[in-house]
Chain A
Amino acid sequence: MDQPLPIPLDNLIVCTHCDAAFTLERPEVGQRAVCARCGTVLITPRRKAGLQIIAVSVAITILIIAATVFPFLSISAAGATNSVSILDAALAFSDGPLVALALTTAALIIFVPLARVLLTIYVLVPIVLDRPPARRSTQAFRLAEALRPWSMAEIFVLGCAVALIKISDLADVAFGPAFWMFSGLVVLVVVQDNFLCRWSVWKSLDKTQTS
């Protein structure tokens, strides 16, 4: 611990998956730096990525709110009809012990994705504007990253497809406007996730905080 290190810590990068240490070599914009041992992507800088991600995030926020409010799917059989919103679907498990499940589903398909984009906007806007980061930015970004595996909007969309085919021989099913919004939303979530270079965000949070 006390022995002097051969390389200053700021010039080191460590792969969090396999713990391999490398001297830092910043890739050009558009290139990627990958771990030579396990192949994990370490850095992927992009030109104007911050602005693009903010734009996509704002779009996602609007779509989530709209998709939750508008009718999502409607069904009709022999004169009886029923239409539901995404919130209705999430809260389907509403009797007895299944209430916990209702809250979990609602969180997984609506609130976690929403929280993630809002946190991302909160963190990125000051960085893009070259301002000092907003208060508790690091905590916000850490939370957004921790929530990543729990954001399941894209799984919900595939679930819709499966449910529709299951129902279709029982009754006629029609898509509401929210269905299309939600499908678009999923594409945007994937885009946002792939554009974001976590290393760069942490670096800029660090830089602006210490100076």
Chain B
Amino acid sequence: MVGMEVAGQNSNIVSARDLGVVACTRCTQVWPAGTQICSRCGSTIVARDRLSLQRVWALWLVGLMCYVPANMYPMLQTRTLLSVQEDTIVGGAVELIHHGAVGIALIILIASVVIPIGKFMAIAFLAISVKRPSSVSNHHRQVLYEVVEYIGRWSMIDIFVVAIMSSLVQLNTLAAVNPGRASLFFALSVIFTMLSAQAFDSRMIWDVRARQEEMTTDE
């Protein structure tokens, strides 16, 4: 691995903004500060996205609002010869534990309960932490952000399970599985939280430290 040599004379790592340049977040080309549009790839360039936090919170809220009905309505409707059964996300997982499939129940619970809730908390924490000083180091928060961005997609697994089951188990009168209303809300919740995480400008995590240092040196 090659470490990158630090620009500027001092040994501290300099932010592009302090250096008077701005980088395109899509193609990483560097431009003088104030450039509006990247002439290499055509993306809009902003040094720091000022509306980023507003968008994060708006999308976060929509995601959270979709997550509530996703857990209240049935996710899956199983019709067999004798009975019709409707399961919510958690109910379905509990059912699986009763059947002895603990591993699968855990996957479902982690993907559809632990990850979404953890994600809501993580995004909220990150959004708050760029506004006020936080005891968690920048590096850990960067890692947290990357984990959130990477893992968020995996919540879609429950939707795919429902899709596979309800297309496969269509045995006329014998047994049939149909998707419930919750699937729509759950998919929306996952999509909105993904958008919320993408709207977050992770460069802001590192700005706070720079700002704090500025304040301490000024005093």
By a beta-carbon cutoff of 8 Å, the part of chain A in contact with chain B is 1, 3, 5-7, 9-10, 12-14, 16-25, 27-28, 31-39, 42, 73, 75, 77-78, 80-82, 84, 88-93, 97-98, 100-101, 104-105, 108-109, 138-139, 141-142, 145-146, 149-150, 152, 155-156, 158-160, 162-163, 165-167, 169-171, 173, 198-199, 202, 205-206
Contact = CB atoms under 8 A, between A and B. Distances in A.
A171 B183 contact: no
B157 A162 contact: yes
A19 B23 contact: yes
B113 interface: no
A1 B32 contact: yes
Contacts of B142: 17-18, 38-39
B23 A109 contact: no
Given A80-B171, A162-B107, A14 B16 contact: yes
A108 B96 CA distance: 27
B202 interface: yes
B167 A155 contact: no
A37 B163 CA distance: 43
Contact of B164 (A14, A38, A39, A159): A159
Given A73-B168, A138-B41, A149-B198, A13 B2 contact: no
Contacts of A39: 139, 142
Given A23-B6, A77-B174, 17 more contacts: A16-B203, A19-B207, A20-B15, A31-B1, A32-B2, A33-B1, A75-B168, A80-B174, A84-B168, A91-B167, A93-B183, A152-B160, A159-B163, A160-B160, A167-B168, A171-B171, A202-B40
Given A7-B7, A25-B2, A171 B169 contact: yes
Q: Which of B96, B153, B169, B172 is the most central at the interface, judged by chain A CB atoms within 10 Å of its CB?
A: B169
B183 A169 contact: no
Chain A interface mostly helix, strand, loop or mixed?
Answer: mixed
Contacts of A19: 15-17, 23, 203, 206-207
Chain B interface mostly helix, strand, loop or mixed?
Answer: mixed
Contact of A152 (B19, B101, B156): B156
Contacts of A165: 101, 104
A142 B43 CA distance: 8
B108 to A, nearest CB: 7
20 contacts: A12-B21, A16-B25, A19-B23, A21-B14, A42-B28, A82-B170, A92-B163, A93-B163, A98-B184, A105-B159, A105-B160, A149-B149, A155-B154, A155-B160, A159-B163, A162-B161, A167-B168, A171-B175, A173-B168, A202-B28
Interface string B137-162: 01100100010010001101111111
Nearest to A90: B163
Nearest to B101: A165
Contacts of B99: 169
Contacts of A173: 168
A208 to B, nearest CB: 12
Contact of A100 (B4, B17, B184): B184
A109 B184 CA distance: 17
B213 to A, nearest CB: 14
A82 B84 CA distance: 20
